[in-house]
Amino acid sequence: MSEMRVERAAIVVGANGAIGNAMLERFERDTSLDKVFAISRTARRSSAAVSASNSKVIWLESDASENSIGKVCKHIKQHGCALTHIVIATGKLHDEAKSVAPEKRIDSLAYDSLAEVFSINTFLPMLWLSKFAGLLNRNQKTVISVLSARVGSIADNQLGGWYTYRGSKAALNMMLKTLAIEFQRRYPLVKLIAFHPGTTNSKLSEPFQANVPPEKLFTPEFVAQQLWTLMNSAPVDGQLSYQDWQHQDIAW
Ligand SMILES: NC(=O)c1ccc[n+]([C@@H]2O[C@H](COP(=O)([O-])OP(=O)(O)OC[C@H]3O[C@@H](n4cnc5c(N)ncnc54)[C@H](OP(=O)(O)O)[C@@H]3O)[C@@H](O)[C@H]2O)c1
């Protein structure tokens, strides 16, 4: 009797964001993958690059509540796939109503905006990871990348400002580091990466692009390619890597 081959799958959280969507499309073209679970708060926006008929994408909506995170993970588990790549691409820097905006001075700090940004940039990725832990397999290599940012580096902070966003990404990095230590024992074949994409053309960066030279403003597709090659070449060393789009280490 021939043995059933276990399907290989990737997960993208925040699949309707610029970088999340570009990662999703990159995984769709990855012939080593059978399925891609795409998670977003909303339905998939149309994409010319993808033919719906033979898509390997399974689209799952989640309102980012703990309850829906649990439901989505249950659904993914039922597929019984080997998870090889996981990308969490959610994040917030500002909103259109300007109720959240990066602060220039300490005077601008406000509780609601602190709570909102920490909740999306720090709590949400960690809640997803707390449930993804139950989907992992000790004998399966899984590379997990979470979108962080260079401004979350304490060592690199020369300019100041952006209190809440910086703090939320630094806190994210610390929690990912703690997870890497736990996974050394529980899932020794998991590799964790905190990734800085560089300034990438998206809604998140739009108001801050004016002083960025054109060659330093990346397309989401370029960044997705860089992250995909990083994930495929990263050593399984039980450590959290904090790296940028050039695959260079960032000081903590
Ligand atoms: N663009 C840059 O220059 C840059 C630079 C450094 C770091 N980053 C980081 O890269 C990541 C992706 O950003 P992007 O540039 O692709 O921005 P984007 O296009 O604005 O995407 C934002 C992402 O965050 C999710 N999101 C936003 N508000 C949310 C909420 N209230 N609850 C749950 N999810 C929410 C969206 O998920 P849905 O699919 O549910 O809409 C989407 O995936 C972020 O973590 C960002 O901090 C970006």
Tell me if 243 sits within 8 A of 230, measured CB to CB: yes
Ligand 1 center from residue 14 Cα (angstroms): 7
pLDDT score at 174: 98
Q: Is pLDDT above 90 for 221?
A: yes
pLDDT band at 1 (very low <50, low <70, confident <90, very high): low
Q: Is 197 in the pocket of ligand 1 (CB under 6 A)?
A: yes
Q: Where are the domains of the chain?
A: 8-244
119 Cα: distance to centroid of ligand 1 (angstroms)? 13
Residue nearest to atom 42 of ligand 1 (CA): 17
62, 121 in Cβ contact below 8 A? Answer: no
For the stretch 50-92, pLDDT in tens is 555 568 999 999 999 999 999 999 999 999 999 999 999 999 9
> What is the mean predicted confidence (pLDDT) over 131-138?
98
Residue 189 has pLDDT above 80, yes or no: yes
What CATH number was assigned to the domain covering residues 8-244?
A: 3.40.50.720
Average pLDDT score over residue span 222-245: 98
Q: How far is the C-alpha of 47 from the C-alpha of 213, rounded, in Å?
A: 28
What is the CA(180)–ligand 1 centre distance, in A? Answer: 23
89 lines ligand 1 (CB under 6 A): yes
Separation between Cα atoms, residue 226 and residue 57, nearest integer Å: 21
Q: What is the pTM of this model?
A: 0.97
Give the H or E element holding residue 231. Answer: helix 220-233
pLDDT reported for residue 54: 61
Q: Which one, of 18, 28, 46, 70, lies nearest residue 10 by Cα?
A: 28
Ligand 1 atom at shortest distance from the alpha carbon of 14:
43
Ligand 1 close to Cβ of residue 151 (< 6 A): no
The residues pairing with 60 across neighbouring beta strands, listed in sequence order, are 39
Q: Which of 170, 174, 161 is nearest to 109 (CA)?
A: 161
| Residue 100: count of CB within 10 angstroms of its CB | 20
Residue 53 is predicted with a pLDDT of: 52
Mean pLDDT of 213-226: 97
Cβ proximity of 224 and 28 under 8 Å? no
pLDDT per residue as tens digits for the range 2-25: 578 999 999 999 999 999 999 999
CA of 21 to the centre of ligand 1 (A): 10
In this predicted model, what pLDDT tens digit does every residue of 192-209 receive, in sequence order?
A: 999 999 999 999 999 999
pLDDT value of position 55: 85
Looking at the predicted structure, is the pLDDT value of residue 213 above 80?
Answer: yes
Q: Whose CA is nearest to atom 24 of ligand 1?
A: 90
Residues facing 185 on adjacent strands:
none
Distance of CA 87 to the CA centre of its chain: 4
Nearest to 128 by CA among 140, 113, 145: 145
Number of C-beta neighbours around residue 20 at 10 A: 25
The mean predicted confidence, pLDDT, of the chain is 95
Which whole number is the average pLDDT over 225-242? Answer: 98
Q: Which two tokens stand for residue 10?
A: 């990737």
